[in-house]
Amino acid sequence: RHAEARECATRLSAAIAVVNPEIIVTSCLECLEALHHLKQETGATYDVLHVLEYIQQHRTRFPDAHSTTPLILHEPCRFSKFPSVKIAAEALITSLGTAPQFLPPDTPRCCRRWHHADPANHTQRRTIVDATASAHAHLVCPCLTCHEAFQETRPTAPLLDLVDLFAQSLQPKEMTP
């Protein structure tokens, strides 16, 4: 697996070199981690941001948005590596006019997407989704990997990708004379 990861990193680095970006924006926390590592490894000068960090930096460019649904923020395991993404996620939910809610402390945090051999993974993901449903809320996932894992576990679960939530909540700003 390490050889596969190294080959992917080499291909990604070559593709980035062709484009020569000033900034790379991703909604995947694993990709964010890989891009930060690649940037450090190659000494590249581009910026790497999670899409939520980008939205937070440019929030005034977007129309006002509002949500009337209670929102529980899933705190994926990668938040510990990227606290700025957690801050951006909480800020975006707050900007939608609602305070972010959180799962009870005894609820698992990690979706365990990358630990397929463990039969407890499906149960752990189901516990997270069911805790959200019992709270009559939507689970907001700032991590694309977690979102996909939860969706596979319960296809009808009340899940929202934070970027989709923002897009769905947009309302045009009223023009003032």
pLDDT digits (tens, 9 = 90+) for 148-162: 877 877 777 777 776
pLDDT digits (tens, 9 = 90+) for 71-82: 888 887 777 788
Q: Which is more confident, 125 or 51?
A: 51
Buried/exposed 68-80: b ≥16 CB within 10 Å, e otherwise: eeebbbbbbbbbe
Of 54, 137, 143, the C-alpha closest to 100 is 137
- Residues 72, 104: contact at Cβ < 8 Å? no
Checking if the pLDDT of 174 tops 50, the result is: no
Q: Six-digit token pair at 117? A: 């051999």
Amino acid at 75: E
Instruction: Give the CA distances from residue 152 to residues 23, 126, 135, in Å, rounded to whole numbers and listed in that order.
Output: 32, 10, 20
